Homo-oligomer: A and B are copies of this chain.
Protein backbone atom coordinates (compact mmCIF):
# COMPACT_ATOMS: atom_id res chain seq x y z
CA UNK A 1 0.00 0.00 0.00
CA UNK A 2 1.22 3.44 -0.96
CA UNK A 3 1.40 6.28 1.52
CA UNK A 4 -0.61 9.43 0.89
CA UNK A 5 1.73 12.30 1.59
CA UNK A 6 1.03 15.97 2.22
CA UNK A 7 3.50 18.26 0.46
CA UNK A 8 4.30 21.90 1.25
CA UNK A 9 4.22 23.74 -2.11
CA UNK A 10 6.33 26.58 -0.67
CA UNK A 11 9.26 24.20 -0.20
CA UNK A 12 8.36 21.16 -2.28
CA UNK A 13 9.00 19.01 0.82
CA UNK A 14 6.84 16.15 2.03
CA UNK A 15 5.54 17.17 5.44
CA UNK A 16 3.47 14.27 6.70
CA UNK A 17 1.92 10.97 5.79
CA UNK A 18 -1.83 11.45 5.94
CA UNK A 19 -3.14 7.99 5.13
CA UNK A 20 -2.63 4.91 3.02
CA UNK A 21 -4.22 4.72 -0.40
CA UNK A 22 -7.62 3.12 0.03
CA UNK A 23 -7.76 -0.49 -1.09
CA UNK A 24 -10.41 -1.89 -3.41
CA UNK A 25 -12.00 -3.65 -0.45
CA UNK A 26 -11.91 -0.48 1.60
CA UNK A 27 -13.60 1.51 -1.14
CA UNK A 28 -16.28 -1.13 -1.59
CA UNK A 29 -16.96 -1.16 2.14
CA UNK A 30 -17.33 2.63 2.25
CA UNK A 31 -19.71 2.57 -0.71
CA UNK A 32 -21.78 -0.16 0.94
CA UNK A 33 -21.99 1.90 4.13
CA UNK A 34 -23.07 4.91 2.07
CA UNK A 35 -25.83 2.84 0.48
CA UNK A 36 -26.99 1.73 3.92
CA UNK A 37 -27.01 5.36 5.06
CA UNK A 38 -29.26 6.50 2.22
CA UNK A 39 -32.68 5.66 3.69
CA UNK A 40 -31.80 7.22 7.04
CA UNK A 41 -30.47 10.39 5.45
CA UNK A 42 -33.64 10.71 3.39
CA UNK A 43 -35.77 9.99 6.44
CA UNK A 44 -34.32 13.04 8.20
CA UNK A 45 -36.59 14.97 5.87
CA UNK A 46 -36.10 18.45 4.48
CA UNK A 47 -36.10 20.07 7.89
CA UNK A 48 -33.76 17.50 9.41
CA UNK A 49 -31.29 17.81 6.55
CA UNK A 50 -31.43 21.61 6.72
CA UNK A 51 -30.49 21.31 10.38
CA UNK A 52 -27.75 18.86 9.40
CA UNK A 53 -26.27 21.40 6.96
CA UNK A 54 -26.35 24.11 9.63
CA UNK A 55 -24.56 21.76 12.01
CA UNK A 56 -21.88 21.06 9.41
CA UNK A 57 -21.40 24.80 8.91
CA UNK A 58 -21.13 25.33 12.66
CA UNK A 59 -18.52 22.58 12.92
CA UNK A 60 -16.38 24.00 10.11
CA UNK A 61 -16.64 27.43 11.71
CA UNK A 62 -15.59 25.99 15.07
CA UNK A 63 -12.48 24.46 13.47
CA UNK A 64 -11.75 27.49 11.28
CA UNK A 65 -8.21 28.23 12.48
CA UNK A 66 -7.12 24.62 12.28
CA UNK A 67 -8.63 24.08 8.81
CA UNK A 68 -7.17 27.30 7.41
CA UNK A 69 -3.72 26.51 8.82
CA UNK A 70 -3.61 23.02 7.30
CA UNK A 71 -5.02 24.23 3.97
CA UNK A 72 -2.54 27.09 3.80
CA UNK A 73 0.37 24.78 4.51
CA UNK A 74 -0.81 22.44 1.74
CA UNK A 75 -1.88 24.98 -0.90
CA UNK A 76 -0.01 28.23 -0.14
CA UNK A 77 -3.18 30.12 -1.03
CA UNK A 78 -2.77 32.29 2.07
CA UNK A 79 -4.94 32.75 5.17
CA UNK A 80 -6.96 35.67 3.78
CA UNK A 81 -8.13 33.74 0.73
CA UNK A 82 -8.67 30.53 2.73
CA UNK A 83 -10.61 32.27 5.47
CA UNK A 84 -12.81 33.75 2.75
CA UNK A 85 -13.19 30.33 1.20
CA UNK A 86 -14.23 28.80 4.52
CA UNK A 87 -16.78 31.57 5.00
CA UNK A 88 -18.10 30.85 1.52
CA UNK A 89 -18.29 27.13 2.29
CA UNK A 90 -20.32 27.73 5.46
CA UNK A 91 -22.55 30.22 3.63
CA UNK A 92 -23.18 27.63 0.94
CA UNK A 93 -24.17 25.01 3.52
CA UNK A 94 -26.69 27.43 5.04
CA UNK A 95 -28.04 28.47 1.62
CA UNK A 96 -28.86 24.83 0.83
CA UNK A 97 -30.62 24.68 4.19
CA UNK A 98 -32.83 27.51 2.89
CA UNK A 99 -33.34 25.64 -0.36
CA UNK A 100 -34.55 22.61 1.61
CA UNK A 101 -36.86 24.57 3.87
CA UNK A 102 -38.39 26.43 0.92
CA UNK A 103 -39.06 23.15 -0.90
CA UNK A 104 -39.51 24.25 -4.55
CA UNK A 105 -36.53 22.10 -5.45
CA UNK A 106 -38.75 18.99 -5.11
CA UNK A 107 -40.76 20.14 -8.15
CA UNK A 108 -43.84 18.66 -6.46
CA UNK A 109 -46.54 18.34 -9.12
CA UNK A 110 -50.05 16.94 -8.77
CA UNK A 111 -52.39 16.15 -11.63
CA UNK A 112 -55.67 14.87 -10.23
CA UNK A 113 -57.53 12.25 -12.23
CA UNK A 114 -59.49 13.99 -14.99
CA UNK A 115 -61.05 13.61 -18.38
CA UNK A 116 -58.86 14.83 -21.22
CA UNK A 117 -59.10 14.86 -25.03
CA UNK A 118 -57.12 11.61 -24.81
CA UNK A 119 -59.66 10.01 -22.46
CA UNK A 120 -59.55 9.60 -18.69
CA UNK A 121 -56.22 10.47 -17.09
CA UNK A 122 -55.20 8.74 -13.87
CA UNK A 123 -54.07 10.58 -10.76
CA UNK A 124 -50.38 11.41 -11.30
CA UNK A 125 -48.04 12.94 -8.72
CA UNK A 126 -44.40 13.69 -9.37
CA UNK A 127 -41.52 14.87 -7.26
CA UNK A 128 -37.76 14.49 -7.06
CA UNK A 129 -36.18 11.90 -4.78
CA UNK A 130 -32.52 11.36 -3.80
CA UNK A 131 -30.49 9.67 -6.54
CA UNK A 132 -28.48 7.59 -4.05
CA UNK A 133 -24.81 7.68 -2.99
CA UNK A 134 -22.71 10.25 -4.87
CA UNK A 135 -18.97 10.19 -5.56
CA UNK A 136 -17.34 13.62 -5.31
CA UNK A 137 -13.99 14.56 -6.85
CA UNK A 138 -12.78 17.89 -5.52
CA UNK A 139 -10.57 20.41 -7.27
CA UNK A 140 -6.95 21.24 -6.47
CA UNK A 141 -7.57 24.97 -6.43
CA UNK A 142 -10.40 25.25 -3.90
CA UNK A 143 -9.41 22.97 -1.01
CA UNK A 144 -12.67 23.83 0.78
CA UNK A 145 -15.36 25.31 -1.49
CA UNK A 146 -14.86 22.79 -4.32
CA UNK A 147 -13.46 19.92 -2.28
CA UNK A 148 -14.54 17.76 0.67
CA UNK A 149 -17.02 20.28 2.17
CA UNK A 150 -17.69 21.92 -1.24
CA UNK A 151 -20.63 22.52 -3.52
CA UNK A 152 -20.94 18.95 -4.79
CA UNK A 153 -20.92 17.46 -1.29
CA UNK A 154 -23.33 20.03 0.09
CA UNK A 155 -25.82 19.77 -2.76
CA UNK A 156 -25.73 15.96 -2.61
CA UNK A 157 -26.31 15.87 1.16
CA UNK A 158 -29.09 18.43 0.77
CA UNK A 159 -30.69 16.17 -1.83
CA UNK A 160 -30.56 13.31 0.66
CA UNK A 161 -27.77 11.46 -1.13
CA UNK A 162 -24.79 10.21 0.95
CA UNK A 163 -21.35 11.22 -0.30
CA UNK A 164 -18.04 9.43 -0.73
CA UNK A 165 -15.29 11.92 -1.56
CA UNK A 166 -12.08 11.10 -3.36
CA UNK A 167 -9.44 13.20 -1.58
CA UNK A 168 -7.42 15.41 -3.91
CA UNK A 169 -3.72 14.45 -4.02
CA UNK A 170 -2.83 18.10 -3.68
CA UNK A 171 -4.41 18.59 -0.23
CA UNK A 172 -4.90 15.22 1.49
CA UNK A 173 -4.43 16.56 5.02
CA UNK A 174 -7.06 19.26 4.50
CA UNK A 175 -9.35 16.62 2.99
CA UNK A 176 -8.86 14.23 5.90
CA UNK A 177 -9.47 16.96 8.47
CA UNK A 178 -12.60 18.22 6.73
CA UNK A 179 -13.98 14.70 6.32
CA UNK A 180 -13.41 14.08 10.03
CA UNK A 181 -15.18 17.32 10.97
CA UNK A 182 -18.11 16.66 8.62
CA UNK A 183 -18.56 13.03 9.66
CA UNK A 184 -18.42 13.93 13.35
CA UNK A 185 -20.91 16.75 12.96
CA UNK A 186 -23.20 14.58 10.84
CA UNK A 187 -23.33 11.99 13.59
CA UNK A 188 -24.06 14.76 16.10
CA UNK A 189 -26.95 15.92 13.89
CA UNK A 190 -28.45 12.42 13.85
CA UNK A 191 -27.38 11.45 10.35
CA UNK A 192 -26.51 7.77 9.81
CA UNK A 193 -22.98 6.44 9.69
CA UNK A 194 -21.83 6.52 6.08
CA UNK A 195 -23.36 9.93 5.31
CA UNK A 196 -19.86 11.25 4.48
CA UNK A 197 -16.95 8.99 3.55
CA UNK A 198 -13.53 9.56 2.01
CA UNK A 199 -11.10 7.53 -0.09
CA UNK A 200 -7.48 8.19 -1.08
CA UNK A 201 -5.56 7.43 -4.27
CA UNK A 202 -6.29 7.33 -7.98
CA UNK A 203 -7.09 3.62 -8.04
CA UNK A 204 -9.65 4.21 -5.31
CA UNK A 205 -11.15 6.98 -7.43
CA UNK A 206 -11.72 4.60 -10.33
CA UNK A 207 -13.04 1.92 -7.95
CA UNK A 208 -15.40 4.54 -6.56
CA UNK A 209 -17.05 5.53 -9.87
CA UNK A 210 -17.41 1.89 -10.89
CA UNK A 211 -18.92 0.75 -7.56
CA UNK A 212 -22.49 -0.44 -8.02
CA UNK A 213 -23.68 1.54 -4.98
CA UNK A 214 -22.59 4.88 -6.44
CA UNK A 215 -25.42 6.51 -8.43
CA UNK A 216 -23.86 9.77 -9.68
CA UNK A 217 -20.52 11.57 -9.81
CA UNK A 218 -19.67 15.21 -9.20
CA UNK A 219 -16.28 16.24 -10.54
CA UNK A 220 -14.33 19.47 -10.70
CA UNK A 221 -10.98 19.21 -12.41
CA UNK A 222 -9.13 18.81 -15.66
CA UNK A 223 -10.52 17.67 -18.99
CA UNK A 224 -8.10 14.72 -18.93
CA UNK A 225 -9.05 13.62 -15.43
CA UNK A 226 -12.72 13.97 -16.21
CA UNK A 227 -12.36 12.01 -19.43
CA UNK A 228 -10.66 9.13 -17.60
CA UNK A 229 -13.54 8.93 -15.13
CA UNK A 230 -16.13 9.15 -17.93
CA UNK A 231 -14.42 6.24 -19.65
CA UNK A 232 -14.51 4.23 -16.41
CA UNK A 233 -18.20 5.02 -15.98
CA UNK A 234 -18.95 3.98 -19.57
CA UNK A 235 -17.49 0.56 -18.72
CA UNK A 236 -20.08 -0.02 -15.97
CA UNK A 237 -22.93 -2.42 -16.69
CA UNK A 238 -25.13 0.49 -15.59
CA UNK A 239 -23.51 3.81 -16.59
CA UNK A 240 -24.42 6.63 -14.17
CA UNK A 241 -24.68 10.39 -14.60
CA UNK A 242 -21.38 12.28 -14.50
CA UNK A 243 -21.44 15.99 -13.76
CA UNK A 244 -18.08 17.46 -14.67
CA UNK A 245 -16.81 21.01 -14.42
CA UNK A 246 -13.81 20.75 -16.68
CA UNK A 247 -12.24 23.80 -18.30
CA UNK A 248 -12.71 27.47 -19.08
CA UNK A 249 -10.98 30.00 -21.31
CA UNK A 250 -13.30 32.84 -20.25
CA UNK A 251 -12.83 35.50 -22.91
CA UNK A 252 -13.05 39.18 -22.00
CA UNK A 253 -13.97 41.68 -24.70
CA UNK A 254 -12.97 45.29 -24.21
CA UNK A 255 -14.89 47.54 -26.59
CA UNK A 256 -13.15 50.54 -28.14
CA UNK A 257 -15.40 52.79 -26.05
CA UNK A 258 -14.37 51.04 -22.84
CA UNK A 259 -10.70 51.20 -23.79
CA UNK A 260 -11.03 54.93 -24.50
CA UNK A 261 -12.82 55.60 -21.19
CA UNK A 262 -10.71 53.51 -18.82
CA UNK A 263 -8.13 51.45 -20.67
CA UNK A 264 -5.40 51.80 -18.04
CA UNK A 265 -7.76 50.85 -15.21
CA UNK A 266 -9.01 47.81 -17.10
CA UNK A 267 -5.43 46.72 -17.81
CA UNK A 268 -4.49 46.81 -14.14
CA UNK A 269 -7.71 45.10 -13.03
CA UNK A 270 -7.32 42.46 -15.70
CA UNK A 271 -3.80 41.60 -14.51
CA UNK A 272 -5.17 41.39 -10.99
CA UNK A 273 -7.83 38.95 -12.17
CA UNK A 274 -5.61 36.60 -14.19
CA UNK A 275 -2.93 36.47 -11.48
CA UNK A 276 -5.42 36.12 -8.59
CA UNK A 277 -4.86 32.91 -6.65
CA UNK A 278 -1.82 32.25 -8.83
CA UNK A 279 -4.05 32.26 -11.92
CA UNK A 280 -5.45 28.94 -10.77
CA UNK A 281 -9.17 29.64 -11.18
CA UNK A 282 -11.43 27.86 -13.64
CA UNK A 283 -12.90 31.33 -14.19
CA UNK A 284 -9.55 33.00 -14.91
CA UNK A 285 -9.84 35.41 -17.86
CA UNK A 286 -7.62 33.44 -20.23
CA UNK A 287 -7.85 35.73 -23.26
CA UNK A 288 -8.80 39.38 -23.55
CA UNK A 289 -9.73 41.04 -26.81
CA UNK A 290 -8.43 44.59 -26.92
CA UNK A 291 -8.67 47.08 -29.80
CA UNK A 292 -5.52 48.08 -31.68
CA UNK A 293 -4.56 51.73 -31.41
CA UNK A 294 -3.49 54.01 -28.57
CA UNK A 295 -6.40 53.29 -26.16
CA UNK A 296 -5.73 49.60 -26.36
CA UNK A 297 -2.00 50.26 -26.10
CA UNK A 298 -2.61 52.08 -22.82
CA UNK A 299 -4.56 49.09 -21.53
CA UNK A 300 -1.77 46.70 -22.48
CA UNK A 301 0.85 48.98 -20.93
CA UNK A 302 -1.02 49.10 -17.63
CA UNK A 303 -1.45 45.31 -17.60
CA UNK A 304 2.26 44.94 -18.39
CA UNK A 305 3.21 47.27 -15.53
CA UNK A 306 1.08 45.22 -13.14
CA UNK A 307 2.63 41.96 -14.33
CA UNK A 308 6.18 43.30 -14.09
CA UNK A 309 5.45 44.34 -10.50
CA UNK A 310 4.09 40.93 -9.53
CA UNK A 311 5.84 38.38 -7.38
CA UNK A 312 5.88 34.77 -8.57
CA UNK A 313 3.01 32.99 -6.84
CA UNK A 314 3.47 29.59 -5.29
CA UNK A 315 1.45 27.18 -7.40
CA UNK A 316 -0.60 24.37 -5.91
CA UNK A 317 1.57 21.40 -6.76
CA UNK A 318 4.57 20.25 -8.75
CA UNK A 319 2.46 19.05 -11.64
CA UNK A 320 0.80 22.41 -12.14
CA UNK A 321 4.14 24.22 -11.82
CA UNK A 322 5.82 21.97 -14.39
CA UNK A 323 2.87 22.22 -16.77
CA UNK A 324 2.77 26.00 -16.40
CA UNK A 325 6.47 26.34 -17.15
CA UNK A 326 6.12 24.15 -20.24
CA UNK A 327 3.06 26.02 -21.57
CA UNK A 328 4.53 29.45 -20.86
CA UNK A 329 7.74 28.58 -22.71
CA UNK A 330 5.90 26.97 -25.64
CA UNK A 331 3.41 29.82 -26.15
CA UNK A 332 6.11 32.49 -25.76
CA UNK A 333 8.06 30.88 -28.60
CA UNK A 334 5.17 30.85 -31.08
CA UNK A 335 5.95 32.98 -34.16
CA UNK A 336 3.08 35.49 -33.95
CA UNK A 337 3.13 35.80 -30.16
CA UNK A 338 4.73 38.73 -28.39
CA UNK A 339 5.98 38.54 -24.82
CA UNK A 340 4.76 41.81 -23.34
CA UNK A 341 5.88 41.43 -19.76
CA UNK A 342 6.89 38.90 -17.18
CA UNK A 343 6.96 39.08 -13.41
CA UNK A 344 9.54 37.90 -10.94
CA UNK A 345 11.05 34.47 -11.47
CA UNK A 346 10.32 32.06 -8.63
CA UNK A 347 13.17 31.25 -6.28
CA UNK A 348 13.88 28.35 -3.96
CA UNK A 349 12.59 24.80 -4.11
CA UNK A 350 8.84 25.46 -4.05
CA UNK A 351 6.36 25.28 -6.90
CA UNK A 352 6.55 28.83 -8.25
CA UNK A 353 5.59 30.28 -11.60
CA UNK A 354 6.47 33.68 -13.07
CA UNK A 355 3.50 35.87 -14.16
CA UNK A 356 3.47 36.40 -17.91
CA UNK A 357 1.58 38.56 -20.37
CA UNK A 358 1.47 37.53 -24.02
CA UNK A 359 -0.12 39.17 -27.03
CA UNK A 360 -1.08 38.17 -30.56
CA UNK A 361 -3.22 39.55 -33.37
CA UNK A 362 -6.88 38.51 -33.03
CA UNK A 363 -6.94 37.71 -36.73
CA UNK A 364 -4.29 34.99 -36.44
CA UNK A 365 -4.51 33.27 -33.06
CA UNK A 366 -1.97 30.46 -33.07
CA UNK A 367 -2.97 26.98 -31.89
CA UNK A 368 -2.53 26.59 -28.16
CA UNK A 369 -3.08 30.22 -27.28
CA UNK A 370 -6.82 29.55 -27.04
CA UNK A 371 -6.48 26.72 -24.48
CA UNK A 372 -7.00 26.99 -20.74
CA UNK A 373 -3.71 27.39 -18.85
CA UNK A 374 -3.60 27.00 -15.07
CA UNK A 375 -1.21 29.64 -13.73
CA UNK A 376 -0.55 33.41 -13.88
CA UNK A 377 -0.63 33.74 -17.67
CA UNK A 378 -2.66 36.36 -19.49
CA UNK A 379 -3.17 36.62 -23.25
CA UNK A 380 -4.26 39.78 -25.02
CA UNK A 381 -5.55 39.50 -28.56
CA UNK A 382 -5.62 42.76 -30.51
CA UNK A 383 -8.48 43.35 -32.95
CA UNK A 384 -8.72 46.02 -35.63
CA UNK A 385 -12.45 46.43 -35.93
CA UNK A 386 -15.82 44.86 -35.25
CA UNK A 387 -15.48 42.33 -38.06
CA UNK A 388 -12.08 41.26 -36.81
CA UNK A 389 -13.45 40.99 -33.25
CA UNK A 390 -16.49 38.89 -34.16
CA UNK A 391 -14.41 36.57 -36.35
CA UNK A 392 -12.00 35.99 -33.46
CA UNK A 393 -14.86 35.27 -31.03
CA UNK A 394 -16.30 32.72 -33.45
CA UNK A 395 -13.04 30.77 -33.27
CA UNK A 396 -12.89 30.50 -29.47
CA UNK A 397 -13.97 27.37 -27.58
CA UNK A 398 -16.97 27.44 -25.24
CA UNK A 399 -16.33 28.70 -21.71
CA UNK A 400 -17.74 29.01 -18.24
CA UNK A 401 -17.94 32.78 -18.66
CA UNK A 402 -17.80 35.59 -21.20
CA UNK A 403 -17.22 39.20 -20.21
CA UNK A 404 -17.86 42.52 -21.90
CA UNK A 405 -16.16 45.70 -20.79
CA UNK A 406 -18.24 48.42 -22.45
CA UNK A 407 -18.37 52.18 -22.62
CA UNK A 408 -20.84 54.12 -20.49
CA UNK A 409 -24.31 53.50 -21.92
CA UNK A 410 -22.91 51.53 -24.85
CA UNK A 411 -25.27 48.77 -26.04
CA UNK A 412 -24.88 48.08 -29.76
CA UNK A 413 -21.47 46.39 -29.84
CA UNK A 414 -22.00 44.69 -26.44
CA UNK A 415 -25.25 43.21 -27.79
CA UNK A 416 -23.39 41.85 -30.83
CA UNK A 417 -20.75 40.33 -28.56
CA UNK A 418 -23.44 38.71 -26.40
CA UNK A 419 -25.13 37.31 -29.52
CA UNK A 420 -21.79 35.82 -30.51
CA UNK A 421 -20.99 34.34 -27.08
CA UNK A 422 -24.26 33.53 -25.29
CA UNK A 423 -24.48 30.08 -26.84
CA UNK A 424 -20.93 29.34 -25.73
CA UNK A 425 -20.81 30.53 -22.12
CA UNK A 426 -22.69 29.86 -18.90
CA UNK A 427 -22.35 33.35 -17.39
CA UNK A 428 -22.15 36.69 -19.14
CA UNK A 429 -20.60 39.56 -17.23
CA UNK A 430 -20.65 43.26 -17.86
CA UNK A 431 -17.95 45.62 -16.58
CA UNK A 432 -16.70 43.02 -14.11
CA UNK A 433 -14.19 40.16 -13.95
CA UNK A 434 -15.14 36.49 -13.97
CA UNK A 435 -12.91 35.24 -11.15
CA UNK A 436 -15.51 35.78 -8.43
CA UNK A 437 -18.41 33.29 -8.43
CA UNK A 438 -21.05 34.33 -5.89
CA UNK A 439 -23.15 31.58 -4.35
CA UNK A 440 -26.82 32.46 -4.84
CA UNK A 441 -30.13 31.32 -6.27
CA UNK A 442 -29.45 32.90 -9.66
CA UNK A 443 -25.86 31.80 -10.09
CA UNK A 444 -24.86 29.42 -12.85
CA UNK A 445 -21.42 27.88 -13.16
CA UNK A 446 -21.33 25.88 -16.37
CA UNK A 447 -21.26 26.12 -20.12
CA UNK A 448 -21.04 23.89 -23.18
CA UNK A 449 -18.13 21.50 -23.62
CA UNK A 450 -15.29 21.78 -22.64
CA UNK A 451 -16.67 23.78 -19.68
CA UNK A 452 -19.03 21.02 -18.60
CA UNK A 453 -20.41 17.82 -20.10
CA UNK A 454 -24.02 18.57 -19.12
CA UNK A 455 -26.26 21.58 -18.74
CA UNK A 456 -25.99 21.39 -14.98
CA UNK A 457 -24.27 23.61 -12.47
CA UNK A 458 -21.99 22.98 -9.51
CA UNK A 459 -22.63 26.42 -7.98
CA UNK A 460 -25.97 27.93 -7.05
CA UNK A 461 -29.23 26.53 -5.78
CA UNK A 462 -29.98 24.39 -8.83
CA UNK A 463 -26.84 22.32 -8.15
CA UNK A 464 -29.06 20.13 -5.98
CA UNK A 465 -31.01 18.91 -9.01
CA UNK A 466 -28.04 16.88 -10.21
CA UNK A 467 -28.40 14.54 -7.25
CA UNK A 468 -32.13 14.00 -7.45
CA UNK A 469 -34.27 12.04 -9.87
CA UNK A 470 -37.97 12.31 -10.71
CA UNK A 471 -40.51 9.68 -9.70
CA UNK A 472 -44.21 9.76 -10.57
CA UNK A 473 -46.79 7.97 -8.44
CA UNK A 474 -49.87 6.83 -10.36
CA UNK A 475 -53.16 6.15 -8.51
CA UNK A 476 -51.28 5.95 -5.21
CA UNK A 477 -53.26 5.71 -1.98
CA UNK A 478 -52.59 8.75 0.21
CA UNK A 479 -50.89 6.67 2.88
CA UNK A 480 -48.24 5.49 0.37
CA UNK A 481 -47.44 8.97 -0.98
CA UNK A 482 -44.55 11.13 0.21
CA UNK A 483 -45.90 13.83 2.54
CA UNK A 484 -45.12 16.56 0.00
CA UNK A 485 -47.50 14.98 -2.53
CA UNK A 486 -50.59 14.48 -0.39
CA UNK A 487 -53.64 16.64 -0.96
CA UNK A 488 -53.64 18.18 2.50
CA UNK A 489 -50.02 19.33 2.49
CA UNK A 490 -49.45 22.69 0.87
CA UNK A 491 -46.53 24.11 2.86
CA UNK A 492 -44.25 24.11 -0.17
CA UNK A 493 -44.68 25.49 -3.69
CA UNK A 494 -46.37 22.91 -5.90
CA UNK A 495 -47.98 22.74 -9.32
CA UNK A 496 -51.53 21.45 -8.91
CA UNK A 497 -53.52 20.65 -12.05
CA UNK A 498 -51.18 22.83 -14.05
CA UNK A 499 -51.25 25.85 -11.73
CA UNK A 500 -48.22 26.87 -9.68
CA UNK A 501 -49.24 27.43 -6.07
CA UNK A 502 -46.72 28.93 -3.67
CA UNK A 503 -46.38 27.59 -0.13
CA UNK A 504 -48.54 28.78 2.77
A residues lining the B interface (CB < 8 Å): 39, 84, 87-88, 91, 98, 102, 104, 107, 109-111, 116-118, 121-122, 124-126, 129, 131-132, 215, 230, 234, 238-241, 397-398, 411, 414-415, 418-419, 422-423, 425-432, 436, 438-444, 446, 448-450, 453-455, 457, 460, 462, 468-477, 479-480, 493, 495, 497-498, 500-502
Contacts and interface: CB of A to CB of B under 8 A. Distances in A.
Contacts of A104: 495, 500
Contact of A462 (B398, B415, B470, B471): B470
B121 A438 contact: yes
A470 B426 contact: yes
A107 B460 CA distance: 13
A471 B422 contact: yes
Given A124-B438, A126-B460, A427-B474, 11 more contacts: A87-B118, A102-B498, A121-B438, A122-B438, A126-B442, A215-B448, A414-B480, A427-B472, A429-B474, A441-B497, A455-B468
Contacts of A414: 477, 480
A241 B454 contact: yes
A104 B110 CA distance: 16
A108 to B, nearest CB: 9
Contact of A455 (B117, B125, B469): B469
A402 to B, nearest CB: 10
Given A117-B87, A238-B398, A238-B448, A122 B432 contact: yes
A106 B97 CA distance: 24
A397 B109 CA distance: 27
A212 to B, nearest CB: 11
A452 to B, nearest CB: 10
Given A422-B129, A427-B474, A430-B474, A442 B124 contact: yes
A350 to B, nearest CB: 29
Contact of A470 (B102, B116, B455): B455
A398 to B, nearest CB: 7
A164 to B, nearest CB: 17
Contacts of A102: 498, 500
A111 B238 CA distance: 39
24 contacts: A98-B498, A102-B498, A111-B438, A111-B440, A111-B442, A116-B438, A118-B439, A124-B440, A124-B442, A126-B441, A126-B442, A131-B455, A215-B448, A238-B398, A238-B450, A414-B477, A415-B480, A428-B472, A428-B476, A430-B476, A446-B469, A455-B469, A460-B472, A500-B502
A88 B118 contact: yes
A104 B498 CA distance: 11
Contacts of A448: 215, 238, 240, 469
B446 A470 contact: yes
A11 B418 CA distance: 57
B238 A440 contact: no
A492 to B, nearest CB: 10
